[in-house]
Chains A and B, each alone.
Chain A
Amino acid sequence: MAIGLLDRRLLFVTGKGGVGKTTVAAALALLAVGEGRRTLVCELDAKGDLAGAYEVGPLAFEARQLQPGLFAMAMDTEASLREYLAVQLKMPRLSRLGAMARTFDFLANAAPGIKEILTVGKLAWETRERHYDVVIVDAAASGHIIGQLRAPQAINELLSVGLVREQTGWMLQLLGDAAVTGVVVVAAPEEMPVTETLELVEELATTGVDLAAVVVNRVLPELFGRSEEEVFDRLAEPEAAAALAEVVGRPVAPVLEAARLAVRLRRTRAAHLVRLREGLNQRSGPPRPVVYVPELFSRSHGRRATNQVAEALAAELS
């Protein structure tokens, strides 16, 4: 691939809810740290899933070191605003002006793009200042990421003057630079996640932010080859199944039934993978890697699952 995934310095990881977006973001960060990169990973939606992926306590706006080279934070737009006012506009910390901060938060809730710009702005700023080698964002679900990525442009058009408008210029440049910024879309081989992924990839083209990779999570391994499947079909016939049960000395019907379910699940998912690949092939621009993470057969979350996904990603990306 032209640009190594982790050579980019700002990665937004997104995808439909439930596909394992947070685990993939957490795992990518572990890979980056493994390559010796000083890494910031940031959760945007404050659900606490990222802390869960590392099995650490709640994360805050102040980045915290989880292990050597790995820093984690949770986005908080009000804190981001306070930092922005203090650092960029050289204004006193707002904590003294409580009511005013509330007003700002209120305004940010209502006015378009304010929350988004405070979010994207903070991440872009960390990237520009090179506080970290790479910033990985456990971003909004696919429905909202486009709005976030478009925020600097929207603000740029909405505000005719002012310091905020002046800030959008460098942000747009940083976000639009494919060598720096990219979006990783996490999908699962199911109907809606594939559909949303293809729609997102199409919309992404309108934001000027580059697609870095598509990660397909929970890919079921092929259970049988063709000749094995013939053997399986014969084994599953009533007489053969009875003989097998006798030889094993245990009931085997549930085992055969489970295999049948596994085969059919895989077949359904494979069709969605084909649709995904065909859809991605129609995308204009240089091809981007499609990375497969196998179904891990453990619905546990937590550090162990994150490590397993990181290993799978490492094997695919190497």
Chain B
Amino acid sequence: MTGAAVEQLLAAKEIVVVCGAGGVGKTTTAAALATVAAADLGAKVLVLTVDPARRLAAAMGLHALGNAETRVGAEAFADAGLEPRGELWAAMLDTKQSWDELVRRHAPDAATRDAILANPLYRNVTGKFVHSHDYIAMERLYELHSSGVYDLIVVDTPPTGHAIDFLEAPERMADFFSSRLLRWLLVPYRSRLVNAASRPFYQIADRALGSAFLTDVAEFFILFQSMYEGFVARARAVERVLEDRRTSFVVVTTLEAAPAHEAGRFVEVLAAKRLHLGAVVLNRVLPSELLDGGATQAARELRARPDQLAQALASARPDAPGPPALVARVLQELGESFLNFAVVAKREAELRAELAVDPALVATVPALDTDVYDLAGLVRLGQALRR
């Protein structure tokens, strides 16, 4: 089991999409994969990340938020005691800036472009517009991939309600602009002819929202419609890249119920969509020694009769580790703590068994006792992934 899958990915794929529920260590995993690929495999690697922890960003040399790709400097690697064979680049996703660029590219003319950028709804909407984060992440990925500058792009997916949302973002965007509903909605504003079907809608909408607002909405949609073909073509192209064999998905999860179930669903969705699952990373997994039968027995003994054991230890060794009462307390806590963690380890083992994934694709990262916040830490984590 393990590292072989990750190794294979980093060596052979052009895009690795890292996904999973919130809070499982997606961003760090993406950064670690990119870092080892650059450091050990000699590739020119870009990690595209969303909202990383500040310290992690600092470790990678990302001080300013923005779309610009930044190279992680040789000094940062030298500080970590590394001499990278390849190049590591990093970029963050700025949704607003990306939307503006998209509008500039797809707007049919300067007037439309300016009208869209100035539309009050557009300015409000770019942060919220139909899963715009998800769409923008995929769109940026497409753009960077087709530039051909990087050997490997590792993408950290945005936190969404459900991890699969972003997969459907291009499709949804295309649907949105080709929707009959949207055209129907716009009819009265285009022709100024209120047909029988939409009249009740406008009566209610006028009363509830005011017609000025509706005019803004309609203007916004009409302007966006002018970019319809560009958007749809683009969304389809993004979809094709995701489906390509050069793209692979890494599902990250901890062995807690909710994220693990979400990971399981995600693996199913990938299979249904014929997308390539490259690896499942089990993050922060407790050591398997916690499941050891003999050790569990020992812990029970320690918890059940610490005083006797402390006495026995005192008579067995002339240089006792401390006064018997204190030793007894420590022994009892040792037993208690082991059994506490063993409960969690057992749950983890159950969840691992429930995850129906080819064991060859599973990479396990042990619960590290410190946070990862510098390049050295990322490399350590990346190497754990390859092991």
A interface list, Cβ under 8 A from B: 16-19, 45-47, 49, 85, 89, 91, 97, 99-100, 102-104, 106-107, 109-113, 141, 143, 147, 154, 158-165, 190-193, 195, 223-224, 227-228, 230-232, 234-235, 239-240, 243-259, 261-262, 264-265, 268, 297-301
What are the residues of chain B within 8 A of A261 when measuring CB–CB? 286-287, 341, 367, 369
Q: Chain A: which residue is nearest B206 at the CB level?
A: A162
User: B34-70 toward A: CB 8 Å interface, digit per residue (1/0)?
Assistant: 0000000000000000000111000000000000000
Choose one: B24, B159, B258; the contact of A301 (CB below 8 Å).
B258
Asked if A247 contacts B316 (CB within 8 A), the reply is yes
For B217, what are the chain A residues with a Cβ–Cβ distance below 8 Å? 107, 110-111
B212 in the interface, Cβ–Cβ < 8 Å? yes
Q: Which residues of B contact A47 (CB under 8 A)?
A: 161-162
Would you give the shortest CB distance from B251 to chain A, in whole angstroms?
15
Q: Are A244 and B313 in contact (CB under 8 A)?
A: yes
A249 to chain B, nearest CB (A): 8
Question: Most chain-B CB neighbours within 10 Å: which of A165, A252, A258, A301?
Answer: A258
Is the C-beta of B326 less than 8 angstroms from some C-beta in chain A?
yes
Q: Are B213 and A297 in contact (CB under 8 A)?
A: no
9 further A-B contacts with Cβ under 8 Å, apart from A247-B316, A261-B369, are A18-B22, A103-B181, A160-B213, A162-B208, A235-B321, A235-B327, A235-B330, A258-B287, A264-B369
B334 and A254 within 8 A (CB): no
* B207-260 interface (Cβ within 8 A of A): 207-210, 212-213, 216-217, 221, 254-259
**In the complex, A141→B160 CA distance in Å?**
9
Q: Counting chain B CB atoms within 10 Å of each CB, which of A110, A191, A243 scores highest?
A: A110
If A195-B54, A299-B344 touch, whether A112 touches B334 (CB-CB below 8 Å) is: no
Task: Give Cα A235 to B332, complex, Å.
Answer: 13
The B257-300 residues at the A interface (CB cut-off 8 A) are 257-259, 286-287, 289-290, 292, 294-295, 297-299
Cβ B341 vs Cβ A248 within 8 A:
no
**Cβ-defined contact, B347 with A158, below 8 A:** no
Is B124 part of the binding interface, using a Cβ–Cβ cutoff of 8 Å?
A: yes
Q: Contacts A110-B129, A234-B321, A254-B292 hold; do A192 and B23 have CB atoms under 8 A apart?
A: yes
From B124, B201, B295, contact of A255 by CB (8 A)? B295
A-B contact pairs, 10 of them (CB 8 A): A18-B21, A18-B24, A110-B176, A143-B159, A160-B212, A162-B213, A234-B322, A252-B302, A261-B286, A268-B370
Pick the contact of A259: B22, B329, B338 (CB < 8 A): B338
Most chain A CB neighbours (cut-off 10 Å) among B22, B216, B342: B22
Task: Say yes or no for B360: interface residue by CB 8 A criterion.
Answer: no
Contacts of B312 in A (CB 8 A): 247
Interface string of B294-317 (1 = CB under 8 A from A): 110111011000000100110011
Interface of B is mostly: helix
Nearest chain B CB to A165 CB, angstrom units: 7
Q: Contact at B298–A250, with CB atoms within 8 Å? A: yes
Q: 8 nearest interchain CB pairs?
A: A17-B22, A18-B23, A162-B210, A250-B298, A264-B369, A254-B289, A234-B321, A254-B295
A227 to B159, CA, bound (A): 44
B174 within 8 A of A: no
Is there a chain A Cβ closer than 8 Å to B121's Cβ?
yes
Let me know if B347 and A299 touch, CB within 8 A. Answer: yes
Residues of B within 8 A of A19 (CB): 23
- A154/B23 in contact, CB under 8 A: no
CA distance A301 to B259 in the complex (A): 12
Question: CB-CB < 8 A to B128: which residues of A?
Answer: 112, 147
User: By the criterion CB–CB under 8 Å, are B127 and A147 in contact?
Assistant: yes
Q: Mark B325-365, 1 if CB is under 8 A from A, else 0.
A: 01101110111011011111001100000000000000000
B341 touches A252 (CB 8 A): no
Measured between beta carbons, the chain B residues less than 8 angstroms from A154 are 124
A101–B189 Cα distance when bound, in Å, is 19
Q: Mark B184-207, 1 if CB is under 8 A from A, else 0.
A: 110000000000011011001111
A220 to chain B, nearest CB (A): 10
Interfacial chain B residues near A253, Cβ < 8 Å: 289, 295
A residues less than 8 Å from B329 (CB atoms):
228
Instruction: Decide: A251 near B330, CB < 8 A? Known: A192-B53, A264-B369, A299-B347.
Output: no
**Cβ of B130 under 8 Å from chain A:** yes
Residues of A within 8 A of B344 (CB): 297-299
Q: Could you tell me if A265 and B22 are in contact, using CB atoms closer than 8 angstroms?
A: no
The listed residue (B120, B257, B295) touching A250 by CB distance below 8 A is B295
B334 and A232 within 8 A (CB): yes
Write the chain A residue with the least CB distance to B351: A299
Whether A248 contacts B259 in the complex (CB less than 8 A), given A47-B161, A47-B162, comes out as no
B184 / chain A contacts, CB cutoff of 8 Å: 103
Contact at A112–B181, with CB atoms within 8 Å?
no
A residues in contact with B322, CB < 8 Å: 227, 230-231, 234
B212 → chain A closest CB, angstroms: 5
In the complex, A297→B345 CA distance in Å? 9
Minimum CB–CB distance from B306 to chain A (whole Å) comes to 10
> Could you say which residues of chain B place their CB within 8 Å of the CB of A300?
257, 347
Task: Tell me whether B343 and A89 are in contact (CB under 8 A).
Answer: no
Select which of B125, B255, B301, B337 is within 8 A of A112 by beta carbon: B125
Q: Which residue of A lies closest to B315 (CB)?
A: A247
